Amino acid sequence: MASSEEDVSAEDKENNRKKTKRPFVTAWLTVYNIAMTAGWMVLAVAMIRFYIQKGTHKGLYKSISRTLKFFQTFALLEIFHCAFGMVRTSVIVTGVQVCSRIFMVWFVTHSIKQIQNEESVVLFLVAWTVTEITRYSFYTFSLLNHLPYFIKWARYNLFIVLYPVGVAGELLTIYAALPYVRKSGMLSVRLPNKYNVSFDYYICLIIVMLSYIPLFPQLFFHMLRQRRKVLHGEVMVEKED
Q: Which amino acid, one-letter code, is at 133?
A: I
User: Looking at beta carbons, which pairs linking 66-73 to residues 24 or more positions away fall under 8 Å?
Assistant: 67/39, 67/42, 67/43, 68/43, 68/105, 68/125, 69/105, 69/106, 69/110, 70/39, 71/36, 71/39, 71/40, 71/43, 72/101, 72/102, 72/105, 73/102, 73/105, 73/106
Is 156 annotated in the active site? no
Phi, psi of 189 (to 5 degrees): -120, 125
Query: Of residues 163, 175, 180, 212, which has the active-site annotation?
Result: 163
Active site residue 170: yes
Active-site residue, selected from the candidate residues 61, 78, 170, 202? 170
Q: Which residues are part of the catalytic machinery?
A: 163, 170
